[in-house]
Chain A
Protein backbone atom coordinates (compact mmCIF):
# COMPACT_ATOMS: atom_id res chain seq x y z
CA UNK A 1 0.00 0.00 0.00
CA UNK A 2 1.25 3.46 -0.95
CA UNK A 3 -0.31 6.60 0.55
CA UNK A 4 -0.34 10.05 -0.96
CA UNK A 5 -1.83 13.09 0.76
CA UNK A 6 -2.97 16.33 -0.86
CA UNK A 7 -1.98 19.17 1.45
CA UNK A 8 -3.92 21.66 -0.64
CA UNK A 9 -7.14 19.74 -0.04
CA UNK A 10 -6.51 18.92 3.63
CA UNK A 11 -8.72 20.93 5.99
CA UNK A 12 -6.80 20.02 9.15
CA UNK A 13 -9.63 18.08 10.70
CA UNK A 14 -7.21 15.51 12.14
CA UNK A 15 -9.56 12.55 11.68
CA UNK A 16 -6.74 10.54 10.13
CA UNK A 17 -4.49 11.06 13.17
CA UNK A 18 -7.22 9.89 15.52
CA UNK A 19 -7.61 6.68 13.55
CA UNK A 20 -4.02 5.92 12.49
CA UNK A 21 -1.65 7.93 14.71
CA UNK A 22 1.38 5.90 13.64
CA UNK A 23 0.86 6.81 10.01
CA UNK A 24 -0.46 10.39 10.10
CA UNK A 25 0.33 13.51 12.10
CA UNK A 26 -0.55 17.20 11.84
CA UNK A 27 1.66 20.27 11.45
CA UNK A 28 1.83 22.30 14.65
CA UNK A 29 0.98 25.67 13.13
CA UNK A 30 -1.99 24.94 10.88
CA UNK A 31 -2.99 21.33 11.48
CA UNK A 32 -2.32 20.21 7.90
CA UNK A 33 -1.61 16.51 7.51
CA UNK A 34 1.93 15.12 7.83
CA UNK A 35 2.51 11.67 6.39
CA UNK A 36 4.73 9.66 8.73
CA UNK A 37 4.66 6.37 6.81
CA UNK A 38 3.96 6.55 3.07
CA UNK A 39 4.18 2.75 2.85
CA UNK A 40 2.80 1.47 6.14
CA UNK A 41 3.04 -2.05 7.53
CA UNK A 42 0.27 -4.48 6.79
CA UNK A 43 -0.96 -4.15 10.39
CA UNK A 44 -1.83 -0.52 9.67
CA UNK A 45 -3.70 -1.09 6.41
CA UNK A 46 -7.22 -1.38 7.81
CA UNK A 47 -6.81 1.76 9.89
CA UNK A 48 -5.37 3.65 6.92
CA UNK A 49 -8.30 2.60 4.72
CA UNK A 50 -10.71 3.90 7.33
CA UNK A 51 -8.75 7.14 7.70
CA UNK A 52 -8.95 7.69 3.95
CA UNK A 53 -12.67 6.91 4.03
CA UNK A 54 -13.55 9.36 6.80
CA UNK A 55 -11.28 12.19 5.65
CA UNK A 56 -13.79 15.03 5.18
CA UNK A 57 -11.67 16.58 2.44
CA UNK A 58 -10.91 13.34 0.55
CA UNK A 59 -7.25 14.34 0.82
CA UNK A 60 -5.84 10.83 1.33
CA UNK A 61 -5.27 8.67 -1.69
CA UNK A 62 -4.31 5.01 -1.52
CA UNK A 63 -2.86 2.83 -4.18
CA UNK A 64 -2.91 -0.82 -3.29
CA UNK A 65 -0.85 -3.39 -5.15
CA UNK A 66 -0.98 -6.90 -3.81
Chain B
Protein backbone atom coordinates (compact mmCIF):
# COMPACT_ATOMS: atom_id res chain seq x y z
CA UNK B 1 0.00 0.00 0.00
CA UNK B 2 1.25 3.45 -0.82
CA UNK B 3 1.04 6.21 1.74
CA UNK B 4 -2.32 8.01 1.55
CA UNK B 5 -2.30 11.57 0.28
CA UNK B 6 -4.68 12.86 2.93
CA UNK B 7 -5.96 11.65 6.28
CA UNK B 8 -9.05 12.97 8.02
CA UNK B 9 -9.29 12.34 11.76
CA UNK B 10 -12.74 12.80 13.26
CA UNK B 11 -12.17 13.56 16.93
CA UNK B 12 -9.25 15.71 18.15
CA UNK B 13 -8.77 14.22 21.57
CA UNK B 14 -6.07 11.89 22.92
CA UNK B 15 -6.65 9.03 20.46
CA UNK B 16 -6.96 11.23 17.38
CA UNK B 17 -4.02 13.42 18.29
CA UNK B 18 -1.80 10.43 19.08
CA UNK B 19 -2.67 8.87 15.75
CA UNK B 20 -1.60 12.04 13.96
CA UNK B 21 1.63 12.30 15.90
CA UNK B 22 2.49 8.67 15.24
CA UNK B 23 1.80 9.16 11.53
CA UNK B 24 4.20 12.10 11.39
CA UNK B 25 6.79 10.28 13.47
CA UNK B 26 6.73 7.48 10.92
CA UNK B 27 7.35 9.91 8.11
CA UNK B 28 3.85 10.56 6.82
CA UNK B 29 4.03 13.80 4.84
CA UNK B 30 0.53 14.09 3.42
CA UNK B 31 -2.35 16.28 4.53
CA UNK B 32 -3.75 15.87 8.02
CA UNK B 33 -7.10 17.32 9.02
CA UNK B 34 -8.86 17.13 12.38
CA UNK B 35 -12.59 17.58 12.73
CA UNK B 36 -14.10 17.91 16.19
CA UNK B 37 -17.48 18.85 17.63
CA UNK B 38 -15.86 20.76 20.47
CA UNK B 39 -14.30 24.20 20.01
CA UNK B 40 -11.14 23.34 21.95
CA UNK B 41 -7.69 22.25 20.83
CA UNK B 42 -6.77 18.73 22.05
CA UNK B 43 -7.02 18.39 25.81
CA UNK B 44 -6.72 15.58 28.31
CA UNK B 45 -9.73 14.10 30.07
CA UNK B 46 -8.48 12.24 33.17
CA UNK B 47 -7.70 15.52 35.03
CA UNK B 48 -11.23 16.83 34.40
CA UNK B 49 -12.72 14.89 37.33
CA UNK B 50 -9.71 15.53 39.55
CA UNK B 51 -7.23 18.42 39.23
CA UNK B 52 -9.41 20.59 36.98
CA UNK B 53 -12.59 19.98 38.99
CA UNK B 54 -10.86 20.74 42.28
CA UNK B 55 -9.44 23.99 40.93
CA UNK B 56 -5.85 22.84 41.37
CA UNK B 57 -5.38 23.19 37.61
CA UNK B 58 -6.71 25.78 35.20
CA UNK B 59 -7.79 24.86 31.65
CA UNK B 60 -4.45 25.63 29.92
CA UNK B 61 -2.84 22.86 31.96
CA UNK B 62 -5.09 20.17 30.50
CA UNK B 63 -4.05 21.02 26.94
CA UNK B 64 -2.33 17.95 25.54
CA UNK B 65 0.20 19.91 23.51
CA UNK B 66 1.56 23.41 23.33
CA UNK B 67 1.17 25.61 20.27
CA UNK B 68 4.68 24.86 18.99
CA UNK B 69 4.02 21.11 19.09
CA UNK B 70 0.69 21.53 17.32
CA UNK B 71 2.30 23.74 14.68
CA UNK B 72 4.93 21.05 14.11
CA UNK B 73 2.15 18.59 13.22
CA UNK B 74 1.22 20.67 10.16
CA UNK B 75 -2.40 19.73 10.58
CA UNK B 76 -5.57 21.64 9.93
CA UNK B 77 -8.05 21.83 12.82
CA UNK B 78 -11.73 22.20 12.00
CA UNK B 79 -13.24 22.70 15.46
CA UNK B 80 -16.69 23.29 16.89
CA UNK B 81 -18.15 21.45 13.91
CA UNK B 82 -19.83 18.10 14.69
CA UNK B 83 -19.71 15.38 12.04
CA UNK B 84 -23.18 14.20 11.07
CA UNK B 85 -22.55 11.57 8.37
CA UNK B 86 -19.88 9.40 6.79
CA UNK B 87 -19.81 7.94 3.31
CA UNK B 88 -17.25 5.13 3.71
CA UNK B 89 -16.88 4.45 -0.02
CA UNK B 90 -16.07 8.10 -0.76
CA UNK B 91 -14.45 8.57 2.65
CA UNK B 92 -16.39 11.78 2.90
CA UNK B 93 -17.60 13.27 6.18
CA UNK B 94 -20.45 15.76 6.26
CA UNK B 95 -20.54 18.27 9.10
CA UNK B 96 -23.51 19.88 10.80
CA UNK B 97 -23.12 23.01 8.68
CA UNK B 98 -23.20 20.98 5.47
CA UNK B 99 -19.49 21.15 4.79
CA UNK B 100 -17.99 17.99 3.27
CA UNK B 101 -14.47 16.91 4.22
CA UNK B 102 -12.66 14.09 2.44
CA UNK B 103 -9.62 11.98 3.15
CA UNK B 104 -7.96 9.05 1.43
CA UNK B 105 -8.18 7.58 4.91
CA UNK B 106 -10.72 8.45 7.61
CA UNK B 107 -9.98 7.78 11.28
CA UNK B 108 -12.97 7.67 13.63
CA UNK B 109 -12.04 8.90 17.09
CA UNK B 110 -15.29 10.39 18.35
CA UNK B 111 -15.15 8.84 21.81
CA UNK B 112 -18.14 8.55 24.08
CA UNK B 113 -21.45 10.20 24.85
CA UNK B 114 -22.51 10.16 28.51
CA UNK B 115 -25.78 8.42 29.33
CA UNK B 116 -28.47 10.57 30.88
CA UNK B 117 -31.42 10.00 33.17
CA UNK B 118 -34.92 10.61 31.84
CA UNK B 119 -35.90 14.24 32.32
CA UNK B 120 -32.48 15.52 33.26
CA UNK B 121 -32.19 17.84 30.30
CA UNK B 122 -35.17 19.85 31.53
CA UNK B 123 -33.68 20.50 34.95
CA UNK B 124 -31.02 23.03 35.81
CA UNK B 125 -28.36 21.85 38.20
CA UNK B 126 -27.97 18.39 36.67
CA UNK B 127 -24.55 17.73 35.20
CA UNK B 128 -22.62 15.15 33.23
CA UNK B 129 -18.84 15.14 32.98
CA UNK B 130 -17.27 14.29 29.67
CA UNK B 131 -15.97 17.48 28.09
CA UNK B 132 -13.91 20.38 29.39
CA UNK B 133 -16.95 22.66 29.34
CA UNK B 134 -18.90 20.09 31.41
CA UNK B 135 -16.13 20.07 33.99
CA UNK B 136 -15.97 23.87 34.17
CA UNK B 137 -19.74 24.10 34.57
CA UNK B 138 -19.67 21.52 37.37
CA UNK B 139 -16.73 23.28 39.03
CA UNK B 140 -18.68 26.50 39.04
CA UNK B 141 -21.72 24.74 40.51
CA UNK B 142 -19.62 23.12 43.24
CA UNK B 143 -18.32 26.54 44.27
CA UNK B 144 -21.87 27.86 44.62
CA UNK B 145 -23.70 24.94 46.28
CA UNK B 146 -23.24 22.74 49.30
CA UNK B 147 -25.07 19.45 48.70
CA UNK B 148 -23.97 17.21 45.82
CA UNK B 149 -25.53 13.91 44.82
CA UNK B 150 -23.47 11.78 42.44
CA UNK B 151 -25.49 9.16 40.59
CA UNK B 152 -23.21 6.33 39.46
CA UNK B 153 -20.74 4.21 41.41
CA UNK B 154 -18.19 3.64 38.64
CA UNK B 155 -14.75 5.20 38.22
CA UNK B 156 -15.99 8.62 37.17
CA UNK B 157 -18.68 8.90 39.86
CA UNK B 158 -16.26 7.83 42.57
CA UNK B 159 -13.58 10.29 41.40
CA UNK B 160 -16.06 13.16 41.32
CA UNK B 161 -17.31 12.27 44.81
CA UNK B 162 -13.73 12.19 46.11
CA UNK B 163 -12.89 15.56 44.55
CA UNK B 164 -16.07 17.15 45.90
CA UNK B 165 -15.32 15.87 49.41
CA UNK B 166 -11.86 17.39 49.31
CA UNK B 167 -13.67 20.67 48.51
CA UNK B 168 -15.71 20.07 51.67
CA UNK B 169 -19.07 19.62 50.03
CA UNK B 170 -21.76 17.37 51.46
CA UNK B 171 -21.57 14.42 49.08
CA UNK B 172 -23.93 11.51 48.58
CA UNK B 173 -23.00 8.82 46.08
CA UNK B 174 -25.87 6.62 44.88
CA UNK B 175 -25.73 3.78 42.40
CA UNK B 176 -27.07 0.45 41.29
CA UNK B 177 -23.91 -1.55 42.02
CA UNK B 178 -23.49 -3.31 45.34
CA UNK B 179 -20.22 -1.51 45.95
CA UNK B 180 -17.99 1.11 44.35
CA UNK B 181 -16.46 0.11 41.01
CA UNK B 182 -18.02 -3.33 41.35
CA UNK B 183 -18.25 -3.79 37.59
CA UNK B 184 -14.66 -2.67 37.05
CA UNK B 185 -12.82 -4.15 40.03
CA UNK B 186 -15.20 -6.52 41.84
CA UNK B 187 -16.47 -6.76 45.36
CA UNK B 188 -13.24 -7.11 47.37
CA UNK B 189 -11.47 -4.01 46.07
CA UNK B 190 -14.76 -2.15 45.63
CA UNK B 191 -15.58 -2.59 49.30
CA UNK B 192 -12.16 -1.22 50.29
CA UNK B 193 -12.80 1.84 48.13
CA UNK B 194 -16.28 2.25 49.58
CA UNK B 195 -14.76 2.17 53.07
CA UNK B 196 -12.29 4.87 52.04
CA UNK B 197 -15.12 7.08 50.80
CA UNK B 198 -17.19 6.47 53.94
CA UNK B 199 -14.17 7.36 56.12
CA UNK B 200 -13.87 10.62 54.22
CA UNK B 201 -17.50 11.44 54.86
CA UNK B 202 -19.26 10.47 51.63
CA UNK B 203 -22.78 9.15 52.25
CA UNK B 204 -23.08 5.96 50.21
CA UNK B 205 -26.39 4.67 48.91
CA UNK B 206 -25.39 1.58 46.95
CA UNK B 207 -27.38 -1.20 45.37
CA UNK B 208 -30.30 1.11 44.67
CA UNK B 209 -31.85 2.08 41.37
CA UNK B 210 -32.41 5.79 40.85
CA UNK B 211 -36.08 6.24 40.11
CA UNK B 212 -36.25 9.95 39.45
CA UNK B 213 -34.73 13.36 39.68
CA UNK B 214 -36.99 15.79 41.51
CA UNK B 215 -37.18 19.46 40.70
CA UNK B 216 -38.97 22.68 41.44
CA UNK B 217 -39.29 25.67 39.13
CA UNK B 218 -37.05 23.97 36.57
CA UNK B 219 -34.21 23.32 39.03
CA UNK B 220 -33.14 20.03 40.53
CA UNK B 221 -33.96 19.57 44.21
CA UNK B 222 -32.82 16.00 44.74
CA UNK B 223 -32.79 12.38 43.75
CA UNK B 224 -35.22 9.67 44.71
CA UNK B 225 -33.87 6.11 44.73
CA UNK B 226 -36.13 3.07 44.54
CA UNK B 227 -35.72 2.68 48.30
CA UNK B 228 -38.09 5.63 48.65
CA UNK B 229 -35.55 7.73 50.53
CA UNK B 230 -35.21 11.31 49.31
CA UNK B 231 -31.67 12.61 48.73
CA UNK B 232 -31.76 16.42 48.65
CA UNK B 233 -29.27 18.16 46.37
CA UNK B 234 -28.21 21.58 45.17
CA UNK B 235 -26.64 19.85 42.19
CA UNK B 236 -26.54 16.35 40.78
CA UNK B 237 -23.92 14.67 38.63
CA UNK B 238 -25.11 11.80 36.47
CA UNK B 239 -22.20 9.40 35.87
CA UNK B 240 -24.04 6.23 34.93
CA UNK B 241 -21.82 5.32 32.02
CA UNK B 242 -21.47 6.21 28.38
CA UNK B 243 -22.11 4.85 24.97
CA UNK B 244 -19.81 5.06 21.96
CA UNK B 245 -20.45 8.26 19.99
CA UNK B 246 -21.60 6.54 16.80
CA UNK B 247 -24.93 8.28 16.22
CA UNK B 248 -23.44 10.15 13.27
CA UNK B 249 -22.50 6.82 11.64
CA UNK B 250 -26.05 5.43 11.56
CA UNK B 251 -26.85 4.65 7.96
CA UNK B 252 -23.20 4.74 6.89
CA UNK B 253 -23.15 0.98 6.43
CA UNK B 254 -20.26 0.59 8.87
CA UNK B 255 -20.77 -2.28 11.31
CA UNK B 256 -21.94 -0.71 14.57
CA UNK B 257 -22.42 -2.79 17.68
CA UNK B 258 -20.92 -1.76 20.96
CA UNK B 259 -18.91 0.88 19.11
CA UNK B 260 -17.47 0.85 15.61
CA UNK B 261 -16.76 -2.79 14.92
CA UNK B 262 -13.27 -3.18 13.55
CA UNK B 263 -11.08 -6.10 12.65
CA UNK B 264 -7.92 -6.92 14.59
CA UNK B 265 -6.14 -4.17 12.64
CA UNK B 266 -8.61 -1.57 13.93
CA UNK B 267 -10.03 -1.23 10.41
CA UNK B 268 -13.79 -0.80 10.01
CA UNK B 269 -13.84 -0.63 6.19
CA UNK B 270 -11.36 -0.08 3.38
CA UNK B 271 -9.57 3.13 4.34
CA UNK B 272 -11.64 3.64 7.49
CA UNK B 273 -10.17 3.04 10.96
CA UNK B 274 -11.42 3.57 14.50
CA UNK B 275 -9.34 4.37 17.57
CA UNK B 276 -9.92 4.99 21.27
CA UNK B 277 -13.11 4.67 23.32
CA UNK B 278 -15.31 4.36 20.23
CA UNK B 279 -13.48 1.39 18.68
CA UNK B 280 -14.53 -2.20 19.20
CA UNK B 281 -11.69 -4.37 17.91
CA UNK B 282 -11.00 -8.07 17.59
CA UNK B 283 -8.29 -8.97 20.13
CA UNK B 284 -6.36 -11.86 18.62
CA UNK B 285 -4.74 -12.77 21.93
CA UNK B 286 -8.09 -13.12 23.69
CA UNK B 287 -9.98 -14.40 20.67
CA UNK B 288 -12.83 -11.99 21.19
CA UNK B 289 -13.99 -8.45 20.65
CA UNK B 290 -12.94 -5.76 23.09
CA UNK B 291 -13.70 -2.07 23.51
CA UNK B 292 -11.69 -0.16 26.08
CA UNK B 293 -12.65 3.10 27.74
CA UNK B 294 -9.37 4.23 29.15
CA UNK B 295 -6.73 6.81 28.56
CA UNK B 296 -3.83 4.44 27.97
CA UNK B 297 -5.76 2.61 25.27
CA UNK B 298 -6.20 5.86 23.36
CA UNK B 299 -2.47 6.34 22.85
CA UNK B 300 -1.52 2.68 22.51
CA UNK B 301 -4.16 1.93 19.92
CA UNK B 302 -3.19 5.08 18.06
CA UNK B 303 0.32 3.69 17.50
CA UNK B 304 -1.10 0.59 15.84
CA UNK B 305 -3.69 2.47 13.80
CA UNK B 306 -1.03 4.85 12.48
CA UNK B 307 1.27 1.96 11.56
CA UNK B 308 -1.54 0.11 9.79
CA UNK B 309 -2.58 3.19 7.83
CA UNK B 310 0.98 3.29 6.55
CA UNK B 311 0.82 -0.37 5.54
CA UNK B 312 2.06 -2.32 8.58
CA UNK B 313 -0.77 -4.91 8.88
CA UNK B 314 -0.35 -5.22 12.66
CA UNK B 315 -2.90 -6.70 15.06
CA UNK B 316 -3.74 -4.70 18.17
CA UNK B 317 -3.39 -7.01 21.18
CA UNK B 318 -3.00 -4.82 24.25
CA UNK B 319 -2.93 -5.73 27.89
CA UNK B 320 -5.62 -3.29 29.01
CA UNK B 321 -4.56 -0.82 31.67
CA UNK B 322 -6.31 1.87 33.64
CA UNK B 323 -5.67 3.88 36.76
CA UNK B 324 -7.81 5.91 39.12
CA UNK B 325 -6.81 8.38 41.84
CA UNK B 326 -9.18 8.92 44.76
CA UNK B 327 -8.05 10.79 47.91
CA UNK B 328 -4.64 9.32 48.76
CA UNK B 329 -5.28 6.09 46.84
CA UNK B 330 -3.79 5.39 43.43
CA UNK B 331 -5.19 2.25 41.89
CA UNK B 332 -3.63 0.76 38.77
CA UNK B 333 -5.21 -2.21 37.05
CA UNK B 334 -3.55 -4.27 34.31
CA UNK B 335 -5.45 -6.92 32.39
CA UNK B 336 -9.15 -7.57 32.60
CA UNK B 337 -10.31 -7.43 36.21
CA UNK B 338 -13.92 -8.44 36.67
CA UNK B 339 -16.48 -8.96 39.38
CA UNK B 340 -16.40 -12.71 38.64
CA UNK B 341 -12.71 -13.15 39.46
CA UNK B 342 -11.22 -14.47 42.68
CA UNK B 343 -9.01 -11.79 44.24
CA UNK B 344 -5.94 -12.57 46.33
CA UNK B 345 -3.41 -10.20 47.85
CA UNK B 346 0.00 -10.81 46.27
CA UNK B 347 2.26 -8.38 48.10
CA UNK B 348 2.16 -5.55 50.64
CA UNK B 349 -0.33 -4.91 53.40
CA UNK B 350 -3.99 -4.00 53.07
CA UNK B 351 -4.03 -2.43 56.54
CA UNK B 352 -1.19 -0.10 55.56
CA UNK B 353 -2.87 0.89 52.34
CA UNK B 354 -0.21 -0.50 50.02
CA UNK B 355 -0.64 -3.79 48.23
CA UNK B 356 -0.89 -5.64 44.97
CA UNK B 357 -3.61 -8.14 44.13
CA UNK B 358 -4.15 -10.88 41.56
CA UNK B 359 -7.43 -11.57 39.79
CA UNK B 360 -7.98 -15.19 38.76
CA UNK B 361 -10.68 -16.88 36.74
CA UNK B 362 -10.66 -20.55 35.83
CA UNK B 363 -7.14 -20.94 37.21
CA UNK B 364 -5.78 -18.16 34.97
CA UNK B 365 -4.50 -14.81 36.16
CA UNK B 366 -6.67 -12.28 34.34
CA UNK B 367 -5.55 -9.07 36.00
CA UNK B 368 -3.10 -7.45 38.38
CA UNK B 369 -4.00 -4.54 40.61
CA UNK B 370 -1.84 -2.10 42.55
CA UNK B 371 -3.18 -0.08 45.49
CA UNK B 372 -0.57 2.62 46.06
CA UNK B 373 2.02 0.25 44.55
CA UNK B 374 2.28 1.26 40.91
CA UNK B 375 5.77 -0.01 40.27
CA UNK B 376 5.16 -3.38 41.91
CA UNK B 377 1.92 -3.78 39.97
CA UNK B 378 3.77 -3.19 36.73
CA UNK B 379 6.47 -5.72 37.63
CA UNK B 380 3.80 -8.25 38.55
CA UNK B 381 2.06 -7.60 35.25
CA UNK B 382 5.23 -8.54 33.40
CA UNK B 383 5.49 -11.78 35.37
CA UNK B 384 1.94 -13.01 35.27
CA UNK B 385 0.46 -11.43 32.18
CA UNK B 386 3.55 -11.84 30.05
CA UNK B 387 1.96 -14.79 28.32
CA UNK B 388 -0.64 -12.48 26.86
CA UNK B 389 0.19 -11.58 23.34
CA UNK B 390 1.33 -8.01 23.75
CA UNK B 391 1.38 -5.48 20.96
CA UNK B 392 4.67 -5.72 19.11
CA UNK B 393 6.34 -2.40 19.72
CA UNK B 394 6.81 -0.08 16.80
CA UNK B 395 10.33 0.49 17.97
CA UNK B 396 11.31 -3.12 17.49
CA UNK B 397 9.13 -3.90 14.50
Q: Contact size class for B?
A: 20 to 34
Residues of A bordering B, CB below 8 Å = 11-15, 17-20, 26-28, 30-31, 46-47, 49-50, 53-58
Complex contact B395–A47 (CB within 8 A): yes
**With an 8 A cutoff between CB atoms, is B40 at the interface?**
no
Pick the residue among B14, B375, B394 that contacts A31 (CB under 8 A): B375
Which of A14, A19, A28, A30 counts the most B-chain CB atoms under 10 A from its CB? Answer: A14
Residues of B bordering A, CB below 8 Å = 14, 18, 21-22, 25, 44, 46, 64-65, 295-296, 299-300, 303, 321, 323, 325, 330, 332, 370, 372-376, 378, 382, 393-396
Pick the residue among A20, A28, A30, A53 that contacts B299 (CB under 8 A): A53
Complex contact A50–B394 (CB within 8 A): yes
* Chain A facing B: main interface SS: loop
Taking A31-B375, A49-B25, A54-B296 as contacts, is the C-beta distance between A11 and B393 under 8 angstroms?
no
A62 to B394, CA, bound (A): 18
A19 to B393, CA, bound (A): 7
A55 to B65, CA, bound (A): 12
Which of B330, B382, B393 counts the most A-chain CB atoms under 10 A from its CB? Answer: B393
Minimum Cβ distance to chain B for residue A10 (Å): 10
Name the residue of chain A whose CB is nearest to the CB of B376.
A28
Taking A28-B375, A53-B299, A56-B46 as contacts, is the C-beta distance between A12 and B332 under 8 angstroms?
yes
Complex contact A53–B21 (CB within 8 A): yes
Complex contact B375–A26 (CB within 8 A): yes
Pick the residue among B44, B300, B376 that contacts A54 (CB under 8 A): B300
Complex contact B393–A14 (CB within 8 A): no
Contacts of B372 on A, CB cut-off 8 Å?
30
Complex contact B375–A14 (CB within 8 A): yes
Contacts of B395 on A, CB cut-off 8 Å?
19-20, 46-47, 49-50
Which of A28, A30, A31, A56 counts the most B-chain CB atoms under 10 A from its CB? Answer: A56
Taking A14-B375, A18-B378 as contacts, is the C-beta distance between A58 and B65 under 8 angstroms?
yes
Contacts of B25 on A, CB cut-off 8 Å?
49, 53
Name the residue of chain A whose CB is nearest to the CB of B372.
A30
Contacts of B64 on A, CB cut-off 8 Å?
58
Name the residue of chain B whose CB is nearest to the CB of A15.
B296
Pick the residue among A27, A47, A53 that contacts B22 (CB under 8 A): A53
Would you list the 8 A-B pairs with minimal beta carbon distance, nearest first?
A: A31-B374, A47-B395, A46-B395, A26-B375, A14-B378, A54-B299, A12-B374, A56-B295
Name the residue of chain B whose CB is nearest to the CB of A46.
B395
A53 to B325, CA, bound (A): 22
20 A-B contacts (beta carbon < 8 Å) = A11-B46, A11-B323, A12-B323, A12-B374, A15-B299, A15-B321, A28-B376, A30-B330, A31-B330, A31-B370, A31-B378, A46-B394, A46-B396, A50-B395, A54-B18, A56-B14, A56-B44, A56-B46, A56-B295, A58-B64
A26 to B332, CA, bound (A): 14
Pick the residue among B46, B303, B323, B396 that contacts A53 (CB under 8 A): B303
A49 to B382, CA, bound (A): 22
Contacts of B14 on A, CB cut-off 8 Å?
56
Pick the residue among B296, B330, B396 that contacts A56 (CB under 8 A): B296
Complex contact B303–A54 (CB within 8 A): yes
Name the residue of chain B whose CB is nearest to the CB of A14.
B378
Complex contact B18–A26 (CB within 8 A): no
- 20 new A-B contacts, CB < 8 A, other than A15-B321, A58-B65, are A11-B323, A13-B332, A13-B374, A14-B332, A15-B299, A18-B378, A18-B382, A27-B375, A28-B375, A31-B332, A31-B370, A31-B378, A46-B395, A46-B396, A50-B303, A53-B21, A54-B18, A56-B46, A56-B299, A57-B44
